Amino acid sequence: MAEDLTILTNVSKAQQYLSLIPQLEALLTGEDDLIANMGNVAAALKEQFGWLWVGFYLVKNDQLVLGPFQGPVACTRIQKGRGVCGTSWAKEETLIVADVDQFPGHIACSSASKSEIVLPVFVGSEVVGVLDVDSEELGHFDEVDALYLNQIVKLIYG
């Protein structure tokens, strides 16, 4: 079965998400392996949007540990409450950071990263990891990304 994604260019960000989400639903439906699904979500998002870094950290023994991702090599472990990822986990909230240099305790895995969005991945009421996306542009992420990325992470366990 061909697994090639249809990638849209020259359309709005919302239209790009709306094209990608049904394709991800098809790709993830019937597969319950967490790592496989996270790997395909990271790859599909990278292919559609071309962000600097997109990937997952998984909660293991009360730390976040690097999971499937696309982009430059990254920090392996993040403590709860540290950096944008550890704060999103601790607060159980989506965090949009327009300028990472203004976020107290931001962990700079790549000096090229200028803005970031992190959202918790829930199974039931428990956070099992976070999705982290980094951009080379300041102020790149907004509520449109928060809305659709939250829909996408729900597919992982669907």
For 99, other C-beta atoms within 10 Å of its C-beta total 12
Stretch that binds ligand SME, among 13-21, 28-36, 103-111, 121-129 (CB under 6 A): 103-111
Of 23 and 79, CB closest to ligand SME: 79
Of 11 and 77, CB closest to ligand SME: 77
| Two structure tokens written together for 17 | 């998400």
Choosing from 17, 53, 56, 141, the residue that interacts with ligand SME (CB under 6 A) is 53
Of 27 and 114, CB closest to ligand SME: 114
Q: Which helix (H) or strand (E) holds 119?
A: strand 115-123
Q: Which of 132, 125, 121 is nearest to 157 (CA)?
A: 121
End-to-end CA distance of the chain: 21
> Which residues form the interface with ligand SME (CB under 6 A)?
53, 74-75, 78, 83-86, 106-107, 109, 113, 116, 132, 134
